[in-house]
């Protein structure tokens, strides 16, 4: 009695016990084989990393094959099966490998008439890895041409055993998931309350909200498949001393990491701002913690789908017993630091490839960011097209945060990575946040939208009144004022410069005696928040509103904001609240 070489399961590097033994008249065999599983026993719930499987099989007349599987992979029997009709014949598999979490043991016997018996048992193996436990968060960064369906926010809550639950916000809707990491740290997702998929299967994300239950997708095809892994975030990093003439791009190529990863690890807000002799921390894969991909669904031939996005994110370590550093907090209650409040600006910038400035907002959006001692943050504001938003995030191990705010009824979004770092001009910054807006023929302005995204930079500074109300304007003046509101673009052919006084202690706005206050011009500043707004007369004759917020650090001292021109074909222009430029000397 030998295994059938034609059915040895070579593609899986396993062997299936396949044979045909007939005794008597096989045509009279109307009973399926009887399979007993003795190991793991009926009382066994957990197994070691290597465990044995054993049992018996019996049939009245003939036996065609006996197959043993663990997690869908066929295993080779320890030896040939000596078959005697009507008797229970022993079989065994020694040293089966258990994956972390649930393991599905299957024994399938088929007799000569094709009668089939299948016995299934699930046992657990837990590989305790407390160093991985925690909450991870990452922004899905589109690959290739950006699109709204390529981006989102992944949050994973992981236990020391490797069991996880989480949420992915995609197309504006949360999809909840749970699963277990395998031995290599790769995610295996539950497809029902008890069934768990292979790590290669991933998590399908659909174009509309579907409760994540097996079979609950109808005929809707998934947008893509989400997969991720969690690796040891405490792995040792390398260092590199910058040589003369080196730039971050060359260093990133040398170590096969991204420029962004090096910038995050070293709290670099400007990737051009490195110098010879500087010692850089070069992150390794393990430092990232959570890494993942989002791929299009396989084609009809089973070939892998196109890579849509990738993501990576550190653990968020803060909580009641591990509060955020005091340097990130600036508001007190009863003599104790309780939160950090930051004024934030989303700065307009020229696009690459070039885009006509009339096709996207040229003003600056703004928001207020609040950071709690447990590391949770909220961001509330409005973008330079007037769209209001609110989102939240977690402060991660490297003092960064991933944000993703669904916009335009989930047809667009704002997302990217923020970094908290004490820099000469900022306390909080981000480069190239991705802002996606759909085309909308009914919109008052920018009807074509930017469905493939535009980029905006974020600058934020701590706001602590009344000190933050002083942006260098000095005392109020009757001649010319101590500040000016400057409006540009937004269908203006020349900049409008409107003198004003802003009290450096209270923020109250008044108007100088000379020059005469411009018709329709007003300014009101809230000394509690640093937000301001007012009106002016556009050169087209319309009385328009403007709004913005104060920053107060380095080159970012003053106000930033936007105004909107009316339909049809309205645009967004920029607003600045700044100290007057010194007079130009003439001979």
- Say what the pTM is: 0.82
CA-CA-CA-CA torsion sign (7, 12, 13, 14)? negative
Residue 424: count of CB within 10 angstroms of its CB: 10
On whether residue 229 sits in a domain, the answer given is: yes
Residues facing residue 163 across a β-bridge: 180
On whether residue 460 sits in a domain, the answer given is: no
Give 52-67 pLDDT, tens digit per residue: 999 999 999 889 999 9
Same domain, 163 and 204: yes
Same domain, 102 and 209: no
Lowest mean pLDDT among 77-81, 254-258, 294-298: 254-258
Residues facing residue 73 across a β-bridge: 70
Residue 345 to residue 185: CA distance in whole angstroms: 38
Same domain, 93 and 135: no
Residue 455: count of CB within 10 angstroms of its CB: 18
Q: Which residue has the tokens 């996606």?
A: 436
CA distances from 249 to 258, 262, 313, 364, 455 (A): 8, 10, 21, 29, 20
Same domain, 145 and 197: yes
Domain span at residue 206 reads 130-233+288-316
Res 234: pLDDT: 52
From 94, 125, 156, give the residue that closes a domain. 125
From 125, 153, 180, give the residue that closes a domain. 125
Same domain, 33 and 142: no
User: Could you tell me if 132 and 162 are in contact, meaning their C-beta atoms sit under 8 angstroms apart?
Assistant: yes
Residue 273 to residue 417: CA distance in whole angstroms: 19
Mean pLDDT for 253-260 is 72
- Maximum distance among all alpha carbons in the chain? 121
Tell me which range, 231-235, 267-271, 401-405, 438-442, is most confidently predicted by mean pLDDT: 401-405
Mean pLDDT for 132-154 is 96
Res 585: pLDDT: 63
Lowest mean pLDDT among 227-241, 345-359, 507-521: 227-241
CATH at 86: 2.60.40.10
Percent of the chain with pLDDT over 70: 89
In three-state secondary structure terms, 251 is helix
CATH at 498: 2.40.128
Residue 164 to residue 389: CA distance in whole angstroms: 29
On whether residue 433 sits in a domain, the answer given is: no
Nearest one of 168, 167, 166, 175 to 208, comparing CA atoms: 175
pLDDT tier, 266 (very low <50, low <70, confident <90, very high otherwise): confident
Same domain, 491 and 573: yes
Same domain, 154 and 253: no
Same domain, 553 and 574: yes
Same domain, 141 and 203: yes
CATH at 243: 3.10.350.10
Residue 214 to residue 204: CA distance in whole angstroms: 11
On whether residue 479 sits in a domain, the answer given is: yes
Res 24: pLDDT: 47
> Does 349 have pLDDT greater than 90?
yes
- Count up the domains in the chain and report the number: 4
Res 5: pLDDT: 31
Average pLDDT over the chain, rounded to whole?
89
Same domain, 100 and 137: no
Lowest mean pLDDT among 71-85, 228-242, 473-487: 228-242
Nearest 5°: phi and psi at 160? -65, -25
On whether residue 521 sits in a domain, the answer given is: yes
User: Could you tell me if 64 and 19 are in contact, meaning their C-beta atoms sit under 8 angstroms apart?
Assistant: yes
CATH at 217: 2.40.160
Tell me which range, 270-279, 281-290, 439-448, 502-511, is most confidently predicted by mean pLDDT: 502-511
On whether residue 47 sits in a domain, the answer given is: yes
Residue 273 to residue 297: CA distance in whole angstroms: 41
Same domain, 255 and 150: no
Same domain, 145 and 179: yes
């Amino acid at each position: 009695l030998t295994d059938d070489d034609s059915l040895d399961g070579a593609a899986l590097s396993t062997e299936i016990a396949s044979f045909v033994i007939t005794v008597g008249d096989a045509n009279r065999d109307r009973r399926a084989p009887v399979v007993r599983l003795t190991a793991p026993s009926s009382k066994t719930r957990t197994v070691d990393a290597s465990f044995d499987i054993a049992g018996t099989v019996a049939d009245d007349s003939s036996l065609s094959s006996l197959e043993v599987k663990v997690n869908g992979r066929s295993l080779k029997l320890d030896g040939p099966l000596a078959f005697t009709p009507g008797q229970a014949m022993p079989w065994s598999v020694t040293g089966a490998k258990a994956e972390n979490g649930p393991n599905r043991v299957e024994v399938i016997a088929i007799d000569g008439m094709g009668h089939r018996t299948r016995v299934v048992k699930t046992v657990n193996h837990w590989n305790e890895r407390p160093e991985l436990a925690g909450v991870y968060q990452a922004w899905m960064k589109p690959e290739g041409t950006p699109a709204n369906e390529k981006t989102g926010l992944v949050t994973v809550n992981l236990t020391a055993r490797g069991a996880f639950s989480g949420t992915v916000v995609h197309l504006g809707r949360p999809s909840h998931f749970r699963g277990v990491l395998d031995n290599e740290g790769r995610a295996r997702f539950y497809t029902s309350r008890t069934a768990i998929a292979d790590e290669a299967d991933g998590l399908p994300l659909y174009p509309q909200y579907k409760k994540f239950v097996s079979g609950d997708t109808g005929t809707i095809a998934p947008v893509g498949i989400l997969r991720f892994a969690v690796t040891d975030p405490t792995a040792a990093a390398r260092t590199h001393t910058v040589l003369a003439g080196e730039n971050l791009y060359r260093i990133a190529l040398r170590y096969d990491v991204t420029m962004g990863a090096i910038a995050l690890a070293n709290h670099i807000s400007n990737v051009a701002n490195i110098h010879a002799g500087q010692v850089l921390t070069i992150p390794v894969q393990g430092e990232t913690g959570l890494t993942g991909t989002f791929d299009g669904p396989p084609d009809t031939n089973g070939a892998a789908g196109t890579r849509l996005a990738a993501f990576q994110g550190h653990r968020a370590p803060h909580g009641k017993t591990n509060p955020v550093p005091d340097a990130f907090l600036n508001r007190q209650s009863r003599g104790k630091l309780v939160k950090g409040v930051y004024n934030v600006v989303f700065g307009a910038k020229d696009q690459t490839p070039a885009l006509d400035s009339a096709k996207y907002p040229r003003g600056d959006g703004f928001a207020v960011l609040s950071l709690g001692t447990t590391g949770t943050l909220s961001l509330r504001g409005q973008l330079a097209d007037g769209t209001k938003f609110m989102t939240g995030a977690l402060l991660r191990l490297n003092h960064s945060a991933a944000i993703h705010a669904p916009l335009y009824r989930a047809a667009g979004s704002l997302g990217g990575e923020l970094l908290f770092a004490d820099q000469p001009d900022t306390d909080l910054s981000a480069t190239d946040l991705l802002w996606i807006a759909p085309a909308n023929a009914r919109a008052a302005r920018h009807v074509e939208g930017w469905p493939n995204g535009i980029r905006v930079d974020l600058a934020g500074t701590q706001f602590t009144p009344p000190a933050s109300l002083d942006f260098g304007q000095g005392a109020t003046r009757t001649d010319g004022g101590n500040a000016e509101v400057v409006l540009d673009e937004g269908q203006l052919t020349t900049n409008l410069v409107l003198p004003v006084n802003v009290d450096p202690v209270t923020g109250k706005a008044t108007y100088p005696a000379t020059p005469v206050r411009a018709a329709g011009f007003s300014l009101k500043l809230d000394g509690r928040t640093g937000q301001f707004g007012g009106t002016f007369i556009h050169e087209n004759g319309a009385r328009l509103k403007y709004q913005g917020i104060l920053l107060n650090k380095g080159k970012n001292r003053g106000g930033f904001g936007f105004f909107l021109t009316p339909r049809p074909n309205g645009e967004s222009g920029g607003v600045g609240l700044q100290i007057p430029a010194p007079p130009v000397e003439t001979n």
